[in-house]
Chains A and B, each alone.
Chain A
Amino acid sequence: MLHTNLTHVLSEQDHSKILQENENVMICCGRMGPMCIPVYEVMEELESEYKNVKFADMEFDTPDAKVIRNLPECRSFQGIPFVVYYKNGQVVKATSSIQSIEQVTTILDQNFGK
């Protein structure tokens, strides 16, 4: 389990459940490393601001993370974390590697609003 204050997606079942129960979801699939930690921090920071978005993380190396690793939207990715944004269960955006708070908020605003 990742050491963050975000909701943890631990299995494929968790992944399905979170998508079913929430219209807007952002999942950061990574490790506790230098490219991933800043993104978790950004998400923790934004959680109170974007009440309409469910923020979650998932361990990149857990076998069930294939639900994210194998997404067509992540096919060209060669840098962690893989961050996927879902609306009504469908992928609307995916990013690879470290992202700044400005980059994340731009995607959230464009796809989910506040």
Chain B
Amino acid sequence: MNNHFDVIIIGGGAAGLTAGIYLSRAKLSTLILNEGTVGGQMVLTHEIANYPGIESISGYQLARNMKAQAQKFGCTIKSNLKITGIELSGDMKQITVNESDVYTSNAVIIATGGKSRTIGVPGEENMKGKGISYCATCDGDFFQDKEIIVVGGGNSALEEAVSLTKYASKVTIVHQFDHFQAFEHYVEEAKLNSKINFIMESKIVEFIGDEKLTGVKIQNIASNEIAKMTIEGVFIFIGYVPNTEKLDGMVELNQWKEIVVDKNMATNIPGVYAAGDSIAKRYRQVTTAVADGTIAALSAADYLNSLKKAFIPVEV
């Protein structure tokens, strides 16, 4: 099997798949290497109602469509693998998968996306699915007429807190600051809901439970006082972190570990581009990821053309 490609795309979310579609359609051999589920964060969205030209579609279906479209143009997609080595310097880029399979290319597009931020306190991993959830629409109905906590202060936290009042008898929002980052209308809606109350300037420091979650310890950040609260359900919505751990020291990252790119999605390394939720930008939407992926693909194609021109032998 030929393991050399014109372009390797790391990540198979909206940005990576779009880049795959553009590059394969341009007859450039393209490989997408994806560590998780194809579709990335897009798959986590039940309904996408703001993708131009499509009135309503599930994130899963849109991801499947994009994947099929990329494959139709000849893009190779490998998913659920582990990237164990990345070499980006020099003209020949090299990506190692599962410690043994080596793939090379002349250009790389990094589209590794982001992942849900976890609190990272004792008990969180063990209680996942046993009282701790990161998806209100998936698990809300397990908490019919029960009291629950929602952690976070952004749009997702406030919106999901309101939606969880369909099931829960009481929703307590725990947030680390004295104000919310969410849009005002989400805050207003939550404040007007009689089932919702707030614990501000506080954070969960421990999840308690054996077979299932029975309570949490909440620390007031100002006073450091810790109180125990009996609770069976906690929903966590505290934002996303970029998947760039493996790139630290290879490409320029900013203080939030996001990849720094120029307007052509070029990183500081020649032949290496980045797109989607892993780059430094303000708005993270499927549409912006698609736009980033397009630009990165066209820029990578330009770069490959410039390499070819540089190697045209001069006749004498």
Q: How far apart are the CA atoms of A35 and B212 in the complex, in Å?
A: 19
Size of the chain A interface, CB-CB below 8 angstroms: 25
The answer to whether A35 touches B139 (Cβ under 8 A) is yes
Q: At the interface, yes or no: A31 with Cβ under 8 Å from chain B? A: yes
Q: At the interface, yes or no: B211 with Cβ under 8 Å from chain A? A: yes
The answer to whether B79 touches A97 (Cβ under 8 A) is no
Q: At the interface, yes or no: B131 with Cβ under 8 Å from chain A? A: yes
Overall SS of chain B's interface: loop
Q: At the interface, yes or no: A24 with Cβ under 8 Å from chain B? A: no
Closest B residue by C-beta to A78: B142
Contacts of A38 in B (CB 8 A): 36-37, 43
The answer to whether A97 touches B211 (Cβ under 8 A) is no
Q: At the interface, yes or no: A45 with Cβ under 8 Å from chain B? A: yes
CB within 8 Å: A-B pair count: 76
Q: A-facing mask of B38-66, CB < 8 A → 1, else 0?
A: 11000111100000000000111000000
The answer to whether B137 touches A78 (Cβ under 8 A) is no
- Given A78-B142, A96-B130, the answer on whether A37 and B233 have CB atoms closer than 8 Å is no
Q: At the interface, yes or no: A1 with Cβ under 8 Å from chain B? A: no
- Given A45-B80, A97-B128, the answer on whether A34 and B44 have CB atoms closer than 8 Å is yes
- Given A34-B135, A78-B142, A80-B139, the answer on whether A41 and B46 have CB atoms closer than 8 Å is no
Q: At the interface, yes or no: A58 with Cβ under 8 Å from chain B? A: no
Partner of B138, one of A41, A42, A80: A80
The answer to whether A97 touches B80 (Cβ under 8 A) is no
Contacts of B79 in A (CB 8 A): 41, 45
Size category, B interface: 20 to 34
Q: At the interface, yes or no: B180 with Cβ under 8 Å from chain A? A: no
The answer to whether A33 touches B46 (Cβ under 8 A) is yes
The answer to whether B43 touches A97 (Cβ under 8 A) is no
Scan residues 11-48 of chain A and give those whose CB is less than 8 A from a CB of chain B: 31-38, 41-42, 45
Closest B residue by C-beta to A30: B138
Q: At the interface, yes or no: B122 with Cβ under 8 Å from chain A? A: no
Partner of A37, one of B37, B130, B137, B139: B37
- Given A41-B79, A45-B80, A76-B211, the answer on whether A95 and B36 have CB atoms closer than 8 Å is no
- Given A41-B37, A79-B128, the answer on whether A33 and B135 have CB atoms closer than 8 Å is yes
Q: At the interface, yes or no: A67 with Cβ under 8 Å from chain B? A: no
- Given A38-B36, A76-B211, A78-B143, the answer on whether A33 and B138 have CB atoms closer than 8 Å is yes
Can you list 18 A-B contacts with CB-CB less than 8 angstroms, sorted by A residue number? A3-B60, A33-B135, A34-B43, A34-B44, A34-B59, A34-B137, A37-B39, A41-B37, A45-B80, A79-B128, A79-B133, A79-B142, A80-B139, A95-B129, A97-B129, A97-B139, A98-B129, A101-B80
